[in-house]
């Protein structure tokens, strides 16, 4: 998945803001699953789980295929990788600033010891 627009990022992060949808993503990270399989651990209707799946699908985080009568859901690893890359950009910038701060503090500490 190429670099995401602000709207795509908003949809993806909004989808991941819900604990049920994060649990669905976690389950799909182990392999494809049907709505019935995804609904098993939740105390909600299959229709409720289907709505969560639709949000994840609209956000581009999962896809569905047709396998006879079933429509299994699949995690889209490229979409998660794109989100991770976006986050890493800012994480790396923050780490660089912390390394610079560490070096400055070390120089100041060494200067006081002399």
Place 114 in a pLDDT band, splitting at 50, 70 and 90.
low
Indicate the CATH number for domain 6-113: 1.10.10.10
pTM exceeding the 0.85 threshold for the entire prediction: no
DSSP 23: H
Domain ranges of the chain: 6-113
Q: Which residues contact residue 71 at a Cβ distance below 8 angstroms, ignoring those fewer than 6 apart?
A: 34, 35, 64, 65
Residue 2's pLDDT is 47
pLDDT per position as a tens digit, 54-91: 999 999 999 999 988 889 999 999 999 999 999 998 88
**pLDDT per residue over 22-53, tens digit each?**
999 999 999 999 999 999 999 999 999 999 99
């Amino acid at each position: 998945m190429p670099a995401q627009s602000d709207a795509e990022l908003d949809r993806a992060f909004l989808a991941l803001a819900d604990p049920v949808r994060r649990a669905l993503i976690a389950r799909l990270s182990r392999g494809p699953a049907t709505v019935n399989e995804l609904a098993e651990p939740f105390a909600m209707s299959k229709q409720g789980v289907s709505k969560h799946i639709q949000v994840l699908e609209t956000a581009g985080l999962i896809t569905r295929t047709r396998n006879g009568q079933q429509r299994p859901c699949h995690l889209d690893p490229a979409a998660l990788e794109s989100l991770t890359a976006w986050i890493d950009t800012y994480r790396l910038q923050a780490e660089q600033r912390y390394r610079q701060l560490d070096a400055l503090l070390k120089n100041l500490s060494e200067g006081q010891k002399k």
